[in-house]
Chain A
Amino acid sequence: MGIQATIPEDMEVVYSYPAALTERSTHYCPGCTHGIVHRLIAEVIDELGIQGQTIGVAPVGCAVLAYDYFDVDFVEAAHGRAPAMATGIKRVSPDKIVFTYQGDGDLAAIGTAEIIQAANRGELITTIFINNAIYGMTGGQMAPTTLPGMVTTSSPDGRDCHIAGYPVQMSEILAVTSGAVYITREIVADIPSINKTKNAIKRAFMAQIAGLGFACVEVLSTCPTNWNMDPWKAMAWAKENMTKTFPLGTFKMTDAVKALKA
């Protein structure tokens, strides 16, 4: 709001922080897509008018401090347990809007059981899943979603799937659970895909508000620091390579979710 105070009377604010976002500078690396997705979620919270009822669950990983950047109530979960914690909150606070924000190590490795079971129960929570194919915070180790042949600090010769197994396709897995109503994989690599991702996030929150079931938006993201690329190259690399292993698209959308006007 400090910014607005300096604006001359004959001008109007056309772009500012969403109310659901704090004005704190993030700790994210240059070119990281966490900032984009944080903003999209905050815009959706504003547009749906749910800031006062929303409770976020932060992960362990680069977004561990997400609660510093969202101006909503937040809890910090143990690694991978955000869906279980969100379940506890939502079950005792059915009138609140509860979302988890999780990375690929958190959701697709250590927390696989919790996310699949929460989805299968049709838990009325919304999950935003950031997939950048690497463990960022711990220094660039192989993630469950690391692409075949991709070099990381714990797969220095490139991921050998015969040794390390294959990239885990979580959206495809979650889509076959009976309790999931909306599962989609998006990317935030350019303006159209960012707009599309925002629309998906909005639909996922609306599915919860309408009491329809579990919704998850997977967002293919970049990690310039640990990919050893500049931000532009990282964006291009994500579009070119990640989408081959993780095809974009909606894997499940019930008719009731389809009918929502996001």
Chain B
Amino acid sequence: MVKELLKGNVAFAEAALRYGLQAYFGYPITPQSEALEHLSERMIDEGRVFLQAESEVAAINMVYGAACAGVRVMASTSGPGFSLMAEGFSYIAGSEVPVVIVNMMRGGPGLGNIQPSQSDYFFMTKSAGHGDFHPIVLAPANVQELIDMMGLAFDLAEKYRTLVFVAGDGALGQMMESAELPPMQPVRTERPDWAVTGNAGRKSRVITSLYLDPEQLEKLNLHLQRKLALIKANEVRWQEYQTDDADLLLIAYGTVGRICLSVMREARQAGLKVGLLRPQTLWPFAEARIAELAGRVRGILVAEMSAGQMLEDVERAAQGKVPIRFHGRMGGIMPMVDEILADVWKLAEEVRVKS
């Protein structure tokens, strides 16, 4: 295969299609509308289902219906649309059907703006709807990883019959860079043995999230929690850069993770032993590894395009073993290498690490 110059939004849409996407339901919202535009042509060309819904509320419920019917289905959106979908997320979690949602985060709250942000971290990892559940949240840092994670997203969604979010931001959606798309994979023709397909030759199936008997509902919840524990045990993903000898540890994900790679390199050039841990799954979170590293390094700097959301998970994982500082930008502003680097130096001074 060859590398092509691809825009993030087009790349994940085309990648999803090549990974066997059977149905897409969406609603235009900046900064991810190119995905909907791309699929409006490609899905129809390939004889698959594409429908522009009247709202994100309708889109997520169409996704829910198609998932119940047992096909590979997704939607993509950004902040305000993602909020509207929260109702469906909860039903999807409660009824255990596999669904993939891409959220290209933009500045909030409210209508906010259309610039890159990471302020939906709490929403995606901790409270994507009413009730006790966590979606799996994947956090790509470049277009190639975004492409690759679409395949992983479908595999995980179907393996665990769960909701998977692919968490990008406006920068990742809009940037163009060279990347390689997967080869076209065959579309699955059979439907899973839990899907609603008509009861011909078998007993009727019901897909519901309603359990009026509290004991039954608690049983479902215990089952969901066991599944989440399994996901936590098996699916934590992260990347580490030069952590072996690090005195200081940077922790950042997605676009900011990428920026922090430059921060790390510049700090190293100046003689500071800085490492980087970049979570690739935001839920489940690399807490065991961070706990380990927290016992080894002298200080941690977390950087995010938010007021400090992943920061809370890092603090929880590090269990007070080491000073943790934070660099955050909000409102759709991306932090620059220099400003994060300045905070690295400040932390070095605070914990008496010298170059």
Q: Which residues from 36 to 53 on chain A have a C-beta closer than 8 Å to any C-beta of chain B? A: 51-53
Distance, CA A255 to CA B179, complexed state (A)? 54
Residue contact B61 to A73, C-beta cutoff 8 Å: no
Contact (Cβ within 8 A) B57 A51? no
Contact A52 B23 (CB under 8 A): no
With the chains together, A78 CA to B95 CA distance in Å? 11
User: Whole-angstrom distance from the CB of A61 to the nearest CB of chain B?
Assistant: 12
Q: Is the CB of A64 within 8 A of B58?
A: no
C-alpha spacing A117/B54, complex, angstroms:
7
Confirm or deny: A253 has a beta carbon within 8 angstroms of a beta carbon on chain B: no
Residues of B within 8 A of A114 (CB): 54, 57-58, 61
B168-201 interface with A by 8 A CB criterion: 196-201
User: For the complex, is A197 an interface residue (Cβ under 8 Å from B)?
Assistant: no
* Min CB–CB distance A107 → chain B (angstroms): 14
Q: Which residues of B contact A54 (CB under 8 A)?
A: 198
B208 neighbours in A (Cβ, 8 Å): 58, 67, 74-76
Q: Which A residue sits closest to B203, measured CB to CB?
A: A71
Known contacts: A85-B64, A91-B66, A92-B66. The answer to whether A72 contacts B58 by CB under 8 A is no
Most chain A beta-carbon contacts within 10 A, residue among B87, B200, B208, B210 = B208
From the candidates B67, B88, B199, B206, name the one contacting A52 in the complex (CB within 8 A). B199
Task: Tell me, in angstroms, the Cα distance from A52 to B61 when the chains sit together.
Answer: 24
When the two chains form their complex, are residues A67 and B206 in contact, meaning their CB atoms are under 8 A apart?
A: yes
**B61 A113 Cβ-Cβ under 8 A:** no
CA of A20 to CA of B88, assembled, Å: 29
Across-interface contacts of B71 in A (CB, < 8 A)? 92
Residues on B with C-beta less than 8 A from A84 are 53, 57-59, 61-62, 65
B209 contacts partner chain A, Cβ-Cβ < 8 Å: yes
Assess whether A219 is interfacial by the CB under 8 Å rule: no
Residues 60-95 (chain A) with a chain B CB within 8 angstroms: 64-65, 67, 70-78, 81, 84-89, 91-93
Tell me if A130 counts as interface (CB < 8 A to partner B): no
Those of B199-227 within 8 Å (CB) of chain A? 199-201, 204-210
Asked if B238 CB lies within 8 Å of chain A CBs, one says no
Check if B62 sits within 8 Å of A88, measured CB to CB: yes
> Given the interface contacts A64-B210, A92-B73, does A81 sit within 8 Å of B196 by beta carbon?
no
Indicate if A57 sits at the interface (CB-CB under 8 A). Answer: yes
A96 CA to B198 CA in the complex, in Å?
Answer: 7
Chain A CB within 8 A of B9 CB: no
The answer to whether the Cβ of B25 comes within 8 Å of any Cβ in the partner chain is yes
Q: Which residues of A contact B22 (CB under 8 A)?
A: 92
Q: Does A55 contact B (CB under 8 A)?
A: yes
Structural contact, B58 and A81, CB atoms closer than 8 A: yes
B206 touches A91 (CB 8 A): no
B324 at interface (Cβ–Cβ under 8 A)?
A: no
Kindly list chain B residues whose C-beta atoms are within 8 Å of the C-beta of A92: 22-23, 49, 66, 69, 71, 73
* Cβ–Cβ < 8 Å partners of B66 in chain A: 88-89, 91-92
A72: which B residues are within 8 A, CB to CB?
198-199, 204
Q: Is the CB of A88 within 8 A of B196?
A: no
B206 touches A74 (CB 8 A): yes
Most buried by B among A51, A74, A85: A85
Residues of B within 8 A of A81 (CB): 57-58, 61, 64, 87-88
Type the 1/0 row for A81-124, where 1 means its CB is closer than 8 Å to any CB of B: 10011111101110010000000000000000110010000000
Residues of B within 8 A of A55 (CB): 69, 196-198
Let me know if B198 and A73 touch, CB within 8 A. yes
B53-88 CB contacts (< 8 Å) to partner A: 53-55, 57-59, 61-69, 71, 73, 87-88
Q: Which of A58, A92, A113, A114: most chain B CB closer than 10 A?
A: A92
Contact A85 B204 (CB under 8 A): no
Which residues of chain B have C-beta atoms less than 8 A from A53's C-beta?
198, 200
Distance in angstroms between the alpha carbons of A50 and B54 in the assembled complex: 30
Q: Does B51 contact A (CB under 8 A)?
A: yes
Q: Which residues of A contact B49 (CB under 8 A)?
A: 91-92
- Chain B residues within an 8 Å CB radius of A52: 198-201
Q: Which residues of B contact A89 (CB under 8 A)?
A: 65-66, 68-69, 196
Within the assembled complex, what's the spacing in Å between the Cα atoms of A247 and B68? 37
Is B91 positioned at the interface, with any CB of A under 8 Å from its CB? yes
Q: How far is the CA of A74 from the CA of B208 in the complex (A)?
A: 8
Bound CA–CA A77/B67 (angstroms): 13
Query: What is the 8 Å Cβ interface bit string for chain B, positions 19-61, against chain A (1 contact, 0 not)?
Result: 0001101000000000000000000000001010111011101
Question: Quick check: A76 and B206 within 8 Å, CB to CB?
Answer: yes
Q: How far is the CB of B161 from chain A (nearest CB, A)?
A: 15
**Contact residues in A for B210 (Cβ distance below 8 Å):** 64-65, 76
A87-B51 contact, Cβ under 8 Å, with A78-B61, A78-B91, A92-B71: yes
Distance in angstroms between the alpha carbons of A259 and B278 in the assembled complex:
65
Chain A residue with minimal CB distance to B59? A84
Which single residue of chain A is at the shortest CB-CB distance from B62?
A88
CB<8 Å pairs between A and B, sample of 20 = A70-B204, A72-B198, A73-B205, A74-B204, A74-B205, A75-B68, A77-B64, A77-B91, A78-B64, A78-B88, A85-B68, A86-B65, A87-B51, A87-B58, A88-B23, A89-B69, A92-B22, A92-B66, A93-B69, A113-B57
6 pairs of A and B residues whose beta carbons are closest in the complex? A88-B65, A52-B200, A84-B61, A76-B208, A85-B65, A88-B62
List 14 extra interface pairs beyond A76-B95, A96-B69, A96-B197, CB under 8 A: A55-B69, A73-B198, A74-B208, A75-B208, A76-B207, A76-B208, A77-B91, A85-B68, A88-B65, A89-B69, A91-B23, A92-B71, A113-B55, A114-B57
Residues on A lying within 8 angstroms of B by beta carbon are 51-55, 57-58, 64-65, 67, 70-78, 81, 84-89, 91-93, 96, 113-114, 117
